[in-house]
Amino acid sequence: MTTTTKAETHDIKDLTLAAEGRRRTEWAERSMPVLRQLRERFAKEKPLAGRRLSACLHVTTETANLMVTLQAGGADVALCASNPLSTQDDVAAHLVRDHGLKVFAIKGEDHTSYYEHIRAALAHRPDVTMDDGADLVGSLHMIALNRLDDLAPPVRRWVETLSVAERKALVGGVIGSTEETTTGVIRLKAMAKDGVLQFPVVAVNDSDTKHLFDNRYGTGQSTLDGILRATNMLVAGSTVVVAGYGWCGRGFAMRARGAGANVLVTEIDPLKALEAQMDGFRVCTMAEAARVGDIFVTLTGNIEVIRVEHMRAMKDGAILANSGHFNVEIDLEGLKQAANGPVQVREFVEEFQLDGKRIFVLADGRLINLAAAEGHPASVMDMSFANQALAAEFVLKNAATLKKDVYRIPADLDREIARLKLQAMGVGIDTLSPAQHKYLASWDMGT
């Protein structure tokens, strides 16, 4: 275990980093006016009073602002990381020292520590869980289905100490859950389809004020930021290959073009491919792109998008990075078997020798924007995390009527977040006149 400051209530790197974490969290808060307004209401109304909430999220300054909002709403909060590389240790220290939060997260933690921290978040016995990639909910479902062999060893060992009644109480105690990202939502919908989902879940990612902005503009900017911080390469004039033209891929392709790159897009969906082509990008197969690309970025949520056969076709010095949720999009196992190395040449840059050529992999194929940079800017997380806070309130408020299914946040709340964001940005919009209202609602007014 890679711990230095460990107690029953936390496991973080170093409490003395708290002051820096506090300064940076306050800086982020300036750009989170919607969440700030929610925090003020939560502090008055206490919609989460007496509830235990376990969150598995990237431990960033923006997440810190969400955690403090949930706490203001009355929740007893435990937080662990949703990726071994995305924790900001100063933020973890700030949350423990200044807010008394239970935080279990250390940047660079190994597989065992990562799951030991998931175990700690589960041992908090949450009424509500909040995931980014469904790791908490996934573990709870393996417990519910008695598939203990599918649990990571630290979680399995703990569950084996619990009686059947205690395991039932752990899963049955969860009133509802929220999920932040596309990959997590895909898994939850698969659970609902198979009839195994154990409690209602709000797919925060499905809110318009989440994926249209966070996935597109957040990932677009922060992925480029991560690649630049890791490599300090000049993007202008280079050929950037973007795998996946979903919300994240669109955003990143746009920003890479803005930085002067020639951008190639690979897709498997004909509609998305057509859209990319008409947006002015060259669309081709990965096999074609492999021969010409300088920088390859995967944003698909799928496995083995860049395989060894592609890597063998690449130019000397090709750079591979991933910004999809899990580190499965680049076949790193295949590369490790086929190549010599790796040798670390810079922080977050590893060199492999394959067929006499160099292939550079960034951040071990993990989310480059969170590993090498700071994740999305606060202004966009303001909307994502306003959705998270409202989703937690929503599942508790509607516990009696919600089924074991995947829900979206109600459309009026989604629009309200957009309205508040515009207001905070000082942007006014028109309102429908009574005549316009009538016109749009009628079918009998012609030319």
Ligand X SMILES: NC(=O)c1ccc[n+]([C@@H]2O[C@H](COP(=O)([O-])OP(=O)(O)OC[C@H]3O[C@@H](n4cnc5c(N)ncnc54)[C@H](O)[C@@H]3O)[C@@H](O)[C@H]2O)c1
Nearer to ligand X, 54 or 384 (CB): 384
DSSP 8-state code for residue 306: B
246 binds ligand X (CB under 6 A): yes
User: Letter for the amino acid at 424?
Assistant: A
What is the Cα Rg of the chain in Å? Answer: 22
For ligand X (CB under 6 A), the number of binding residues is: 28
Nearer to ligand X, 69 or 300 (CB): 300
Of 113, 114, 174, 117, the C-alpha closest to 143 is 174
Nearer to ligand X, 158 or 281 (CB): 281
Min CB(14)–ligand X separation in Å: 25
Min CB(57)–ligand X separation in Å: 11
Ranges of H-type helices in 32-179: 33-45, 61-72, 89-99, 111-123, 135-144, 153-160, 164-172
Q: 377: cis peptide before it, omega within 30°?
A: no
Min CB(321)–ligand X separation in Å: 10
Q: Where does 244-348 show beta strands of DSSP type E?
A: 262-266, 282-283, 295-298, 318-322, 340-346
384 binds ligand X (CB under 6 A): no
What is the DSSP annotation of 333-371?
HHHHHHSEEEEEEETTEEEEEETTEEEEEEGGGSBHHHH
The interface mask with ligand X, positions 256-295, x = CB under 6 A, is ----------xxxx--x-----------------------
Nearer to ligand X, 48 or 118 (CB): 118
Of 139, 118, 137, the C-alpha closest to 180 is 137
Nearer to ligand X, 127 or 374 (CB): 374
Stretch that binds ligand X, among 152-160, 179-187, 277-285, 407-415 (CB under 6 A): 179-187
312 binds ligand X (CB under 6 A): no
Stretch that binds ligand X, among 15-23, 38-46, 167-175, 211-219 (CB under 6 A): 211-219
Stretch that binds ligand X, among 35-43, 237-245, 355-363, 392-400 (CB under 6 A): 237-245
Residue reference for tokens 């280079």: 238
| Cβ neighbours around 365 below 10 Å, total | 23
248 binds ligand X (CB under 6 A): yes
Distances (CA, A) of 246 to 210, 383, 390: 14, 19, 25
Min CB(26)–ligand X separation in Å: 23
Min CB(185)–ligand X separation in Å: 8
Given 3, 37, 277, 302, the residue binding ligand X (CB under 6 A): 302
CA distance 243 to 331: 14
CA of residue 259 relative to chain centroid, distance: 24
245 binds ligand X (CB under 6 A): yes
327 binds ligand X (CB under 6 A): no
Distances (CA, A) of 232 to 224, 348, 364: 11, 12, 17
Nearer to ligand X, 47 or 324 (CB): 324
Nearer to ligand X, 73 or 249 (CB): 249
Min CB(214)–ligand X separation in Å: 6
Q: Which residues bind ligand X (CB under 6 A)?
A: 181-183, 211, 215, 219, 243-249, 266-269, 272, 299-302, 305, 323-325, 367, 369
